[in-house]
Amino acid sequence: MDYTDPQYWPTLKNLAQTIDGLDYFQVLNLPQNASSGQIRTTYYQMARALHPDRFFHLPDEELKNSVSKIYRRITESYTILKDDQKRAQYSANINGPERMSKLRFNEESEREQKEKQREALEVAKTPQGKKMFNEAVAEYKKGNYDKALKNLQSALLFESGNEQLKAFKAEIEAKKAGG
Amino acid sequence: MGIDLGTSNSCVAIWEDGRPVVVPNEWGEMTHASCVSFLEDGSVIVGNSAKQRIVLDPQHTVYSAKRLIGRFYFSEEVKKAQAICSYPIVEGPNNSVRVAIRDAVFTVPEVSAMVLKEMRAIVEQHTQQTVTKAVITVPAFFNDSQRQETKNAGRIAGLEVLRILNEPTAAALAYGFGQNLDQRVVIYDLGGGTFDVSILQIGQDIFEVLATAGDTYLGGDDFDDRIVQWIGTQVEQRLNYDIKSDLVSLQKVRDVSERAKIDLVESDRVTIHLPDLYFDANGSPVAFSTEITRPQFNQMVMDLVQRTFKVCDEAMQSARLTAVDIDGVILVGGPTRLPIIRNSVRHYFQREPNVEVDPDQVVALGAAIQAEALLDSATSTFLLDVTPQSLRLGTVGDYTEVIIEKNTAIPIDRTRTFVTAADNQERVKIKIYQGESRNASECEPLGEFEFSGLRQARRGEVKIEVTFEIDTDGIVNVYARDTETGQQASTTITLTGGMDEAAIAEAAARNAETKRADHA
């Protein structure tokens, strides 16, 4: 199919609007049990049909933006599905209860997301508490649980009633105990 | 046209009678020194005749500008360049780099634009037609700022830049175009100032880059420098003279060193003779002679050669491949003619490297093919390239997290959602980086983005979805919208040494006025 033919342009523009509602298998039009060879072959076929370079010489900017968006989702689908580990995680995500919010794979692990929430909330309130807390987060990220706990203990000296600091401390202790 | 804008030399090719051809200048030269000499009357000499002027007029002749493009003034690379370049490299606004020539100050893209303008003049002289559309190549490992500034150079030269294309990818395209190959190839690209290695899967009209790695500060110039240092030590011992204190004699030594390196491709030993290395207190010329053998040279550069293979290791690991999985090795760049490189490549990849392609011209040829493929709907080749370095977002405590991993296929975009942390917060600021370290200080900062005009609401109620896009040029675009209202936030980019639209327009006007000197 030659998508540069004007008869397909409305379809492409429409697809660009709705593509975020599709999972990666649907983007590539493949069953969830497709082999890695099939994924690559399909990616190549789609590149031949929908690579933005094919549309480069056309004047319609809206069409080109649509094609660019579709093609970026094709690349994304291929990138995640060609990696066995990410594919396994992704397949679990889209077949789980939170399917609609997990159609696009987010490489941040849950741990990182929790950390970010903590940062956004600005857990500590005093300057010294903040400083010690940030150091605790940094040590925690490096996996130095003992140092992180020490820093948190110091932070609690400045803010003894801070429940969030206590919760974080409990979390690290649990993590440490669990190895 | 397709332009290979090199550190030391540039080359231009066009599409003619259904195939790519390199365009020679009026003297039949196929490659042109990326050198710009500014004359007193305001005109410029560009190319091989400008190169000769590095000795004659070192203060006003600019070379190796590519080593400076898209760099911050305080970076290590700029300091290194200052130590060896004879023209003044000065600080511009926002940590940018400028070149000072007499009363004028030039941005680095402006200097590169003069080289591009010369390439354009060569093509126009050859075809007797106006040519404005170009594909310009860059090292695969170039980051966003370096790509952006190269694109700006093209615009300053009055060109419509169709694509910023990776040099090894261009080389692979020239190698595999129209051949119906089904191969996995390695491109080993050692240029004048940069080293790249890319691994590609070629499947007929598809060129998929599996992985790329590089070092944007390692090239043939560094090999020359080793000979320069070696001669310098001997001059110091024998004549008690410091060549580094004298720009003119240093440049003379650099010239003979480069020639000796090239002669060592064919010969086992080369005599170096400088009849007038410098002039003594009485004004008499002092001569210096020495001899260099190939084993001596090989010893001097062994560590540089080894560094290229560390980069190869990295690319092979990223692609999860070993030497047995490779069907062909293609050498690109003049320095790959050196026997030590050929032998080491043969040893590392356990196969004879391909010598059919001309290492000086293959990149420009590939760029011309890509230009044609973009403009003509009938020509179809598809380059599925990757981003060479991870795109990162700054977090608290000078840490970063990965948004788009290195070696991810492009074009692509990823999104992150940010939540306001204060009541009635008006703006969100984010910093982005490129590099492979969790520590922000060890990554290259690309810019600071500020999204303003956020909806008035209590903290946590406004969610801003930020999209990080890498386009087909490998250039990063960032934009944000309110997830609830869908409204685009206005974006300001700061902390970038790059040129803005007004500066580009001004530079383009100055470029158009600058005349080529009649070089006899």
| Confidence band of A110 (pLDDT split at 50, 70, 90) | very low
pTM over 0.80: yes
The one-letter amino acid code at B358 reads D
Indicate whether A80 and A122 sit together in one domain. no
A12 and A67 together in one domain: yes
A37 with A118, same domain?
no
Question: Is the minimum CB–CB distance between B301 and chain A shorter than 8 Å?
Answer: no
Which pLDDT score is estimated for B494?
Answer: 61
H or E element that contains B432: strand B428-434
Say if residues A34 and A89 touch (Cβ distance below 8 Å): no
Set of chain A residues whose Cβ sits within 8 Å of the Cβ of B387: none
The 3-state DSSP class for residue B373 equals helix
Same structural domain, A64 and A118: no
Q: For residue A33, tell me if it sits in a domain.
A: yes
Reply yes or no on whether B266 is catalytic.
no
Mutual orientation of helices A84-94 and A61-81 as an angle, nearest 10°? Answer: 110
A60 and A116 part of one domain: no
In this prediction, residue B520 has a pLDDT band, given cuts at 50, 70 and 90, of very low
Pair (A50, A76) in one structural domain:
yes
Q: Would A1 be classed as within a structural domain?
A: no
Map residue B507 onto helix, strand or coil. helix
In a domain? residue A41? yes
Q: If you average pLDDT over every residue of chain B, what do you get? A: 93
Give the tokens for residue A43: 């990616």
Q: How many CB pairs under 8 A join A and B?
A: 70
Residue A139 has pLDDT above 90, yes or no: no
pLDDT at B510 over 90: yes
Expressed as residue numbers, the domain containing A71 is 6-102
Domain total in chain A: 2
Same domain, yes or no: A158 and A88 = no
Using a CB–CB cutoff of 8 Å, tell me whether A120 touches chain B.
yes
On whether residue A116 sits in a domain, the answer given is yes
The answer, yes or no, to whether the previous bond of B411 is cis (omega within 30 of 0) is yes
Q: What is the mean pLDDT of residues B278-300?
A: 96
Chain A residue closest in CA terms to B428: A120
State the nearest Cα–Cα gap between A33 and chain B, in angstroms.
23
Chain B positions touching A107 (Cβ under 8 A) are 402, 405
Task: Determine the residue type at B439.
Answer: N
Does B417 lie at the interface with A, CB-CB under 8 angstroms? no
A53–B384: do the CB atoms touch at under 8 Å? no
Looking at the fold, whether A97 and A144 belong to one and the same domain comes out as no
The fraction of chain A above a pLDDT of 90, given in percent, is 54
Last residue of a domain, one of A74, A102, A130: A102
Alpha helices (H) in chain A, listed in sequence order: 9-18, 24-27, 36-50, 52-55, 61-81, 84-94, 110-121, 127-142, 145-158, 163-177
A172 within domain boundaries: yes
CB-based contacts of B316, cutoff 8 Å, min separation 6? B199, B211, B322, B323
In a domain, A16, yes or no: yes
- Poorest-confidence range of A8-22, A46-60, A120-134, B41-55? A120-134
* Candidates A116, A121, A140, A151, partner chain B, best to mutate (most B CBs within 10 A): A116
Task: Count CB atoms within 10 A of the CB of residue B383.
Answer: 25
Which amino acid is present at B126?
Answer: H
Judged by average pLDDT, the poorest of A24-28, B209-213, B326-330, B396-400 is B396-400
Q: What is the pLDDT of residue B519?
A: 56
Degrees (nearest 5) of the Cα angle B442, B446, B450?
Answer: 120
User: Among the three residues A73, A102, A131, which one is the final residue of a domain in this structure?
Assistant: A102
A172 against B269, higher pLDDT = B269
Q: Are residues A87 and A19 in the same domain?
A: yes
Q: Give me the residues paired with residue B433 across strands.
A: B392, B445
Question: How high is the pLDDT of residue B8?
Answer: 95
A122: in domain: yes
Catalytic, B291? Answer no
Six-digit token string for A110: 């849950």
Best of A42, A51, A82, A85 to mutate (most B CBs within 10 Å, chain B): A51
pLDDT for res B495: 56
Q: Is B411 on the interface with A (CB under 8 A)?
A: yes
Q: Are residues A131 and A164 in the same domain?
A: yes
pLDDT band, residue B224 (cuts 50/70/90): very high
Tell me B143's DSSP state. -
Q: How far is B179 from chain A (nearest CA, A)?
A: 17
Task: Write b or e for each residue in B80-98: b if 16 or more Cβ atoms lie within 10 A of its Cβ, otherwise e.
Answer: ebeeebbbebeebeebbbb
Q: What is the pLDDT of residues B368-378, one digit of tens each?
A: 999 999 998 87
Residue % of chain B over a pLDDT of 70: 98
CA atoms within 13 A on the CB side of B157: 30
Q: How far is CA A32 from CA A101, A102, B396, in A?
A: 18, 15, 39
Catalytic residue among B57, B149, B189, B258: B189
A91 and A24 in a common domain: yes
In angstroms, rounded to a whole number, what is the distance separating the alpha carbons of residues B458 and B468?
26
Tell me, what CATH number does A95's domain have?
1.10.287.110
Contact A140/B at CB under 8 A? no
DSSP B296-318: HHHHHHHHHHHHHHHHHHHHHHH
Domains present along chain B, CATH in parentheses = 2-218+306-385 (3.30.420.40), 220-299 (3.90.640.10), 391-504 (2.60.34.10)
pLDDT for residue B276:
94
Q: Which has the closest alpha carbon to B452: B496, B477, B482? A: B482
Average pLDDT over residues B320-330: 96
Residue ending a domain, among A45, A74, A102, is A102
Structural element, H or E, at residue B329: strand B328-332
- Of residues B482, B392, B468, B390, the one with CA closest to residue B428: B482
* B150 or A122, which is more confident: B150
C-alpha span between B413 and A72 (Å, rounded): 6
Query: Is residue B47 pLDDT above 90, yes or no?
Result: yes
Q: Distance between CA atoms of A14 and A12, rounded to whole angstroms? A: 5
When mean pLDDT is compared across A23-27, B65-69, B82-86, the lowest value belongs to B82-86
* Chain A residues touching B461 at Cβ < 8 A: none
CA distances from B476 to B136, B148, B165, B449, B486 (A): 17, 9, 15, 12, 22
Question: Looking at residue A122, what is its pLDDT?
Answer: 66
B61-78 burial: b if 16+ Cβ within 10 Å, else e: bbbbbbbbbbbbbebeeb
Give the gap in angstroms from C-alpha B167 to the nearest C-alpha of chain A. 18
Cβ–Cβ contact A60 with B under 8 A: no
User: CA angle, corner B17, sides to B15 and B22, nearest 5?
Assistant: 40
Residue A85 domain-assigned?
yes
- The 3-class secondary structure across B439-466, one letter per residue, is EHHHCEEEEEEEEECCCCCCCCCCEEEE
The answer to whether the CB of B37 falls within 8 A of the CB of B60 is yes
pLDDT of residue B496: 63
A120 and A54 in a single domain? The answer is no
The domain that holds A173 is classified in CATH as 1.25.40
Read off the pLDDT band of B242 (50, 70, 90). very high
List chain A residues with CB under 8 Å of B173.
Answer: none
